[in-house]
Amino acid sequence: MGLRSFFDRIEPHFTKGGKYEKLFPLYEMVESFVYTPRTVTTVAPHARSYVDMKRIMTYVVIATIPCILMALYNTGLQVNGAIATHGPSGWRAGVIAGLGIGFNPDSILANMAHGLLYFLPIYLTTLIAGGIWEVIFATVRGHEVNEGFLVTSMLYALILPPEVPLWQVALGISFGVVIGKEVFGGTGKNFLNPALVGRAFLYFAYPAYMSGDTIWTPVDGFSGATALSVSASEGYQQLAANGITWMDAFLGTVQGSLGETSTLAALIGLGFLLVTKIANWRLIVGCLGGMIGFSLLFNAIGSDSNPMFAMPWYWHLVVGGYAFGLAFMVTEPVSASHTNLGRYIYGALIGFMVVMIRVVNPAFPEGMMLAILFGNVFAPLIDWFVVQANIRRRAKRHG
């Protein structure tokens, strides 16, 4: 009650004619974070619904919680396991030793604590750097700070390697927010996923920090290949020889970006988004259909020189960032297709492209990030053709 009165008391200073009028977006951001907005949405996206934008974004953040927890656990698991053979390194190991937690990979507490020391700096850097740009653009344009950045910041942090330099984290989210969203008018007007734009920028600008075998477990002298890199060089049949089973990949106890490794965690989040009707199931069906169909085609064709031709669809599902991208990026409503038929086509295009990139282009063993951005570019065109086809069909029916 006292906090509500405080906001009501200072609000006139930030509204039109007030002393701090230009800082209204900053006031609105803090006030709406604490309380449900009392006004209607004034900028895109618009929806006639009992669920406001804040509630939608809150649901998506809640859906990422399983991936966040798995990011903490698996990052700590990989680091503690590597420390057993290579010894501790870095300031984080000093913090863990000082707290007396230890480096036992069999300890859930030790793994979660060590993983938190990698995830938290990345997320805070993302939140601060990206939040500054959000406030700047909102202030200049004179509208509220959109809650969509909370989702962007979380997804962006989860798709980064655990020891990416923090200055690169800030640079990537700045590029994603400014170039991927704000130059098009802000949330609801962007046609590319801002988190993926930031990640793609870092991938092409600083490839040594975003790919290879040495970045996934940040312990000096340790090198560990991901499931996709092993499959691309030796074939998926050799994954077991490298200590990676299908269940390991499904649960997420493998090398990879912070929050992308666990298919189980991503599917739990996806289930929540489907139940709350935030995610559209047609996008899921299309993406799974495109991936399964095209991987079966490659399996049937076969290749004597490219072992990726033999990888079955159920391995494509659990390796790399496919499941995470399916749950949180493909279903992102702003950059996806908006017609029902278009959603099937859009999802199928992404499923087709991720298999195409993984199998045919060895320079990009992951594929999901580029496939989704490719789909983002074509989503408006897909919807245009669907709408035009509907217009022609109705014209013939009534002509």
- Number of domain units in the chain: 2
- Please choose, from the candidates 176, 167, 170, the residue with its C-alpha nearest in 3D space to the C-alpha of residue 197: 176
Q: Last residue of some domain: 197, 224, 251?
A: 224
Q: Which helix (H) or strand (E) holds 181?
A: none
Is residue 263 in a domain?
A: no
What pLDDT sits at residue 50? 46
Is residue 168 in a domain?
A: yes
Looking at the fold, whether 154 and 123 belong to one and the same domain comes out as yes
Among 13-17, 92-96, 227-231, 290-294, the range scoring the smallest mean pLDDT is 13-17
Looking at the fold, whether 207 and 79 belong to one and the same domain comes out as yes
Looking at the fold, whether 173 and 75 belong to one and the same domain comes out as yes
DSSP string spanning 327-384?
IIITT-TTTS--SHHHHHHHHHHHHHHHHHHHHH-TT-S--HHHHHHHHHHHHHHHHH
Domain span including residue 9 = 2-39
Give, in order, the Cα–Cα distances in Å from 294 to each of 114, 232, 369.
40, 17, 18
Is residue 138 in a domain?
A: yes
Is residue 224 a contact partner of residue 255, using CB atoms and an 8 Å limit? yes
Looking at the fold, whether 24 and 65 belong to one and the same domain comes out as no
What pLDDT sits at residue 25? 62
What pLDDT sits at residue 23? 62
pLDDT tens digits for 209-221? 887 777 777 776 6
Looking at the fold, whether 17 and 119 belong to one and the same domain comes out as no
pLDDT tens digits for 314-323? 999 999 899 9
What pLDDT sits at residue 388? 94
pLDDT tens digits for 124-136? 999 999 989 988 8
Looking at the fold, whether 158 and 216 belong to one and the same domain comes out as yes
What pLDDT sits at residue 20? 64
- Please choose, from the candidates 212, 194, 199, 226, the residue with its C-alpha nearest in 3D space to the C-alpha of residue 320: 226
Looking at the fold, whether 35 and 183 belong to one and the same domain comes out as no
Q: Is the pLDDT of residue 37 over 60?
A: no
What pLDDT sits at residue 102? 85
Q: Is the pLDDT of residue 197 over 90?
A: yes
Looking at the fold, whether 158 and 128 belong to one and the same domain comes out as yes
What pLDDT sits at residue 174? 95
Q: Last residue of some domain: 224, 240, 263?
A: 224
Is residue 270 in a domain?
A: no
Is residue 265 in a domain?
A: no
Give, in order, the Cα–Cα distances in Å from 335 to each of 88, 205, 305.
43, 24, 37
Looking at the fold, whether 7 and 107 belong to one and the same domain comes out as no
pTM score:
0.86
Is residue 347 in a domain?
A: no
Is residue 351 in a domain?
A: no
Q: Is the pLDDT of residue 296 over 60?
A: yes
Looking at the fold, whether 26 and 146 belong to one and the same domain comes out as no
Q: Last residue of some domain: 191, 224, 257?
A: 224
Q: Is the pLDDT of residue 7 over 70?
A: no
Q: What's the rounded mean pLDDT across residues 361-368?
A: 78
Is residue 397 in a domain?
A: no
Looking at the fold, whether 130 and 31 belong to one and the same domain comes out as no
What pLDDT sits at residue 53? 65
Q: How far apart are CA 184 and CA 333, in angstroms?
A: 16
Looking at the fold, whether 207 and 60 belong to one and the same domain comes out as yes
Q: Who has greater pLDDT, 327 or 138? A: 327
Among 12-26, 195-209, 221-235, the range scoring the smallest mean pLDDT is 12-26
